[in-house]
Structure 1
Amino acid sequence: MSSPTASVGRPRSGARRLPTGSARDEILDAAAELFAERGYAATSTRMIAEMVGVRQASLYYHFKTKEQILAELLESTVRPSVDYASSLPEQGLDPAEALRALVRYDVGVLLGARWNAGILYALPEIATEPFTRFRAERERLRLAYRRLAGGDVPGDLVLGLVESVIGMRRDLATLPPHEELQEAVATAALRLTTL
């Protein structure tokens, strides 16, 4: 009889990527690293499984397709900011303060992720069905920016400014401290709304 804490399946080959994370979390982490560094098309599910130290069949237990992994990663880059934007009315901030708070929060999410998964927003695959929920979540975030910025054009400009930190993460060897960059983007965002 096995103990209730015994693991199921084959042992992993190698150390765990995220000692406190679930197998699903480790798969997402490995995929984010490979997608961001090698590219989505150049990454296979076999590579992801090998990086985690599990068999490919174990990966398919958690995710049926590579598209499902990518969709989950992309949604995780916008979901926290959408949730935060939804909580702003309860904070009693005026629109400019709320916009500043959302920009700072959203930039923090994009900078705080272990891997720069936001770089994958421009993939042509994102226009297909498996990514419908990600596109809907991103549109909700866009609408929050438009509402707080006072119009479609200013809101879209602010969202573009926020997402520019994705390119900065890719292109710059060293980024300014996160707090400094969050404040700089928030200040610039407020200036955009007064043009």
Structure 2
Amino acid sequence: MSTSPGSGTPPSRGRVGRPRAQGRAEDGLSAREGVLAAAAELFTRQGYASTTTRAIAEGAGLRQASMYHYFGGKEDILAALLEGTVRPSLDLARQLLLLAPDETAETRLWALCRADVELLCGGPHNLGALYLLPETGASRFADFRRLRDELRAAYAALFAATKAGQALPEAERELRADLLFGLIEGVILIRRQAAEHTPLTLPEAAADSALRLAGTTERRLADASARGAALLRELRRPQEL
């Protein structure tokens, strides 16, 4: 599962207060983006429970009342950040699942693994660490949990379509798929504990390791990684124009 704060996030529940008069701040962020960026730094640096909405508003250069024009409260901000770490990968997974006639399952699985790790490690703050917050079990975060479950299911579907996955009994296949998904999300802890593993080195290494865990042979892995990297470039090209 770059993490751009708030990508693919739902509308907030409350819209009280006034929006910021100017469209964008000196850093180029809109007011809403500024709130998410400030919250991302505060949540990961000093903790969710210890962060106040006043501190978030001040970090975004807003009055506290103005912040409520964009978000109903601290839970809404956390939900937006969490969903932003999953939605882009889920959107990609849906694309990859539709490419069955054109690409091997190993290629598509490698591409998803690499892109997902890039997302989890690409931002300035380790937002994936927020997955471990006990607050994420609350009903407000049901959409985040649903998106994450859908992403896990996409991983399982791609793995089941690989040659190694097809050869396994169902119970073993499901266990291996869960282990694979856990390996990818494990970069959250690696990033927190070992800063020398930069976003430049982790994505490809994690994708290779995931396919090895899936039972892919080294020969098929070499082909999947080369073709998977090319596939990602192809899928991203329209977005770069």
Q: TM-score, normalised by structure 2?
A: 0.71
2-side partners of 1:112 and 1:71: how far apart? 19
Larger RCO (alpha carbons 8 Å, 6+ apart):
2
- Does residue 1:83 correspond to 2:83, yes or no? no
Distance 1:56 1:161, change over 3 A: same
- Does residue 1:171 correspond to 2:193, yes or no? yes
Selected match of 1:161 from 163, 167, 183: 183
- Does residue 1:186 correspond to 2:207, yes or no? yes
Q: Calculate the aligned-residue CA RMSD, in Å.
A: 2.1
Alignment map for 1:96-135 (pairs within 5 Å) = 96-135=106-145
> Amino acid of the residue matched to residue 157 of structure 1?
L
2-side partners of 1:133 and 1:88: how far apart? 22
Deviation sequence 1:157-179 (CA, Å, 0-9, x none): 11111111111221113224x34
SS at match of 1:114: coil
Structure with greater proportional helix content = 1
> Amino acid of the residue matched to residue 88 of structure 1?
L
Deviation sequence 1:93-140 (CA, Å, 0-9, x none): 211111101000100101112211110101111111110110000000
Aligned to 2:151: 141
> Amino acid of the residue matched to residue 143 of structure 1?
A
Selected match of 2:67 from 52, 59, 62: 59
2-side partners of 1:139 and 1:70: how far apart? 18
Deviation sequence 1:21-67 (CA, Å, 0-9, x none): 21000000100110011111010101101111211001111111100
SS at match of 2:103: coil
SS at match of 1:35: helix
Question: Residue 20 of structure 1: CA displacement?
Answer: 2.2
Alpha-carbon contact 2:20-2:31 (below 8 Å) kept: no
Which contiguous aligned blocks of 4+ residues in structure 1 show a shift greater than 6 angstroms?
none
2-side partners of 1:85 and 1:194: how far apart? 20
> Amino acid of the residue matched to residue 63 of structure 2?
R
1-side partners of 2:47 and 2:136: how far apart? 14
Of the structure 1 ranges 52-61 and 88-97, higher mean CA displacement relative to structure 2 is found in: 88-97
The percent identity for this pair of structures is: 46
Aligned to 2:7: none
**Tell me, which stretches of 5 or more residues in structure 1 are unaligned?**
1-7
**Tell me, which stretches of 5 or more residues in structure 2 are unaligned?**
1-18, 161-172, 217-241
1-side partners of 2:130 and 2:204: how far apart? 25
